[in-house]
């Protein structure tokens, strides 16, 4: 018998001599645990599940029949094979044991060879089953990976084709109306591509348990209006009807994560539009579920009369990288991340998400969330003018410098550019009082943004420890952001830069 000693056996017998004999027989081949009491056997099996249990029948307090009954009732232990090993010789005893779920039966006094072979038979079954499961799991993982990569390639190349194609066409187009249409299509494709990138990064943060919420006070009505503006073009294109029903008892201003709430609603609404045929109808509902002194629980629903979802399809809806219409011949786009990300975010918001649907009967996706009714810093000042303030983009890519400077051109903010971290450090060190904020790229030649920040903070100048340093970079994983903050940076904004977010951030640090 040459089984690897990776398998474990639990011996349950109230006689010390039996335990010693069985341990002597089995310990050269397996890891052996032993207890003398039925309740101890149940406790050990739940805490350290063995591969096989050798179970005596006649024991004080709890006999073997009661033990196997308890083991088979538990989800954690019901799969463990039990071999009864007993001095009872009545065939009815063996029949009762097998009826209760025993895998085999050994009579006392036992032969060492019989014990070895019967245990070995069960071990072979266990190990063969594990190999089959591992193989099936590996094949499923490989299949899912291939399907995901296929979807990802399709979802990346489609908007890239639109961006590159429309850009080429614009070079030869002078008609302003047509150029505006092309710019709108380029913008739409760019947004789709950015959403895909954000979803992949969000999944990485979720797997690393790094994704968290960023709270602020905002207007729910504005959030809904912005979302509707985003999807209206797709709704018009499919000649669908989109209606909203917002409970008037929902306060206009409350505290939550505006970006993540927008992300969830936009994802659910986009799916509804995608899976609802032309001239179909979609409805967005929002109402109050519960209110107490400081928090409000609200429910948001997106209903449609689209293609609907079967029970089998519903089971995989919120699983990462899974899709209802998975496969290379899918009719609808997407990579299967949006709903799983939404589920995780809803959990962070203290709520739950679910779906009610039947094939060809439409769908209702709904989620609950808790929000605070008043911001702890609601007395903060209104946005201020940036006139008279000076910022130092440190940014090595010229086009990125041009974009940010153009964004801030009308704010009154004066901008001094540095092409790398070393130049930024030298500019600040030579005139520390000349700057009010530093916008710092991360990946730059000569000296990166992290090292430049550390050196700025190490300068023996009063302003060196006070000036806000904002990381402005395409590196947006939470683990990366934590590195920037640990280096001494004050905050972070991702590329491509959202103008409103940048302006609000500058306002908060330059007041």
Q: Are 45 and 80 in contact (CB under 8 A)?
A: yes
pLDDT for 61 equals 87
pLDDT for 411 equals 86
Give the integer Cα–Cα distance in Å for 309 and 486. Answer: 46
Q: Are 11 and 32 in contact (CB under 8 A)?
A: yes
* Residue range 66-88, pLDDT digits in tens: 999 999 998 889 899 999 988 88
For 143-207, give the CATH class. Answer: mainly alpha
Helix (DSSP H) and strand (DSSP E) numbers for the chain: 15, 17
pLDDT band for 407, please (50, 70, 90 cuts). Answer: confident
* Residue range 167-189, pLDDT digits in tens: 888 888 888 888 888 888 888 78
pLDDT for 191 equals 80
- Residue 437 has what DSSP assignment? B
Region of poorest pLDDT, from 160-169, 326-335, 477-486:
326-335
pLDDT band for 462, please (50, 70, 90 cuts). Answer: confident
Give the integer Cα–Cα distance in Å for 242 and 247. Answer: 17
Half-sphere exposure of 455 (CA within 13 A, CB side): 16
Give long-range contacts, CB 8 A cutoff, 24+ apart: 372-375. Answer: 372/215, 372/254, 372/255, 372/256, 372/294, 372/295, 372/296, 373/251, 373/254, 373/255, 373/294, 373/295, 373/296, 374/217, 374/255, 374/294, 375/215, 375/216, 375/217, 375/255
* Nearest C-alpha neighbor of 46 from the set 19, 67, 16: 67
pLDDT band for 479, please (50, 70, 90 cuts). Answer: confident
Helix 338-348 × helix 258-274 angle, to 10°: 140
pLDDT for 3 equals 45
Q: Other CB atoms closer than 10 Å to residue 499's CB: what's the count?
A: 14
CATH of 390-509, one of 3.40.50.300, 3.40.190.10, 3.40.50.2300, 3.40.50.10490: 3.40.50.2300
Residue whose entry in the numeric block shows the structure tokens 């009864």: 84
Give the integer Cα–Cα distance in Å for 455 and 432. Answer: 13
The predicted model scores a pTM of 0.59
**Per-residue pLDDT at 10 exceeds 50:** yes
**In 172-210, where does DSSP find H-type helix?**
176-207
Reading the block at residue 59, the tokens are: 């024991």
Give the integer Cα–Cα distance in Å for 31 and 2. Answer: 14
Give the integer Cα–Cα distance in Å for 14 and 19. Answer: 8
* Residue range 326-384, pLDDT digits in tens: 443 455 555 568 888 999 999 999 999 999 998 988 999 999 999 998 654 444 444 45
Would the CATH topology of 8-110 be identical to that of 390-509?
A: yes
pLDDT winner (highest mean) among 154-168, 239-253, 467-481: 239-253
Percent of the chain at pLDDT > 70 equals 94
Q: What is the CATH T-level fold of the domain 216-372, as seen in this structure? A: Heat Shock Protein 90 (3.30.565)
Domain extent listing, the chain: 8-110, 143-207, 216-372, 390-509
Give the integer Cα–Cα distance in Å for 439 and 413. Answer: 13
For 8-110, give the CATH class. Answer: alpha beta
Give the integer Cα–Cα distance in Å for 447 and 426. Answer: 11
């Amino acid at each position: 018998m040459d089984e690897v000693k990776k398998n474990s056996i639990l011996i349950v017998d109230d006689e010390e001599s039996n335990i010693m004999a069985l341990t002597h027989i089995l310990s050269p081949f397996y890891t052996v645990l032993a207890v003398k009491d039925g309740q101890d056997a149940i406790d050990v099996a739940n805490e350290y599940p063995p591969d096989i249990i050798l179970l005596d029948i006649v024991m004080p307090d709890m006999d073997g029949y009661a033990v196997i009954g308890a083991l088979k009732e538990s989800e954690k232990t019901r799969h463990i094979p039990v071999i009864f090993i007993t001095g009872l010789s009545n065939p009815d005893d063996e029949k009762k044991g097998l009826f209760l779920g025993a895998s085999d039966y050994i009579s006392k006094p036992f032969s060492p060879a019989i014990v070895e072979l019967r245990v070995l038979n069960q071990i072979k079954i266990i190990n063969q089953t594990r190999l089959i499961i591992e193989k099936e799991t590996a094949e499923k993982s490989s299949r899912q990976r291939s399907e995901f990569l296929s979807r990802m390639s399709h979802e990346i190349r489609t908007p890239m084709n639109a961006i590159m194609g429309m850009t080429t066409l614009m070079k030869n187009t002078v008609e302003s109306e047509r150029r505006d249409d092309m710019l709108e299509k380029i913008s739409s494709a760019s947004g789709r591509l950015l959403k895909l990138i954000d979803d992949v990064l969000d999944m990485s943060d979720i797997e690393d348990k790094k994704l968290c919420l960023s709270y602020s006070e905002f207007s729910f009505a504005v959030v809904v209006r912005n979302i509707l503006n985003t999807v209206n073009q797709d709704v018009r294109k499919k000649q669908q009807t989109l209606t909203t029903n917002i409970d008037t008892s929902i306060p206009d201003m409350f505290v939550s994560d505006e970006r993540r709430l927008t992300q969830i609603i936009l994802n659910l609404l986009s799916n509804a539009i995608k899976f609802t045929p032309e001239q179909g109808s979609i409805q967005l509902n929002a109402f109050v579920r519960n209110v107490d002194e400081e928090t409000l629980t609200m429910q948001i629903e997106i209903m449609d009369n689209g293609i609907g979802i079967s029970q089998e399809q519903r089971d995989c809806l919120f699983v990462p990288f899974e899709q209802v219409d998975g496969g290379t011949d899918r009719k609808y786009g997407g990579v299967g991340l949006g709903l799983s990300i939404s589920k995780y975010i809803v959990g962070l918001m203290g709520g739950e998400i679910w779906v009610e649907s039947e094939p060809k009967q439409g769908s209702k996706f709904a989620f609950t969330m808790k929000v605070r009714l008043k911001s702890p810093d609601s007395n903060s000042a209104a946005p201020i003018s940036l006139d008279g303030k000076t910022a130092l983009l440190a940014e090595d890519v010229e086009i990125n410098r041009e974009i940010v400077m153009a964004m801030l051109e009308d704010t009154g903010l004066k901008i001094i550019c540095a092409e790398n971290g070393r130049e930024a450090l030298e500019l600040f060190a030579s005139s520390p009082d000349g700057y009010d904020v530093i916008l710092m790229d991360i990946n730059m030649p000569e000296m990166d943004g992290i090292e430049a920040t550390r050196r700025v903070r190490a300068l023996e100048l009063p302003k060196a420890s006070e000036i806000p340093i904002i990381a402005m970079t395409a590196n947006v994983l939470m683990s990366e952001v934590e590195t920037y903050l640990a280096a001494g940076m004050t905050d972070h904004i991702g590329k491509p830069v959202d103008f409103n977010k940048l302006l609000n951030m500058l306002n908060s640090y330059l007041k």
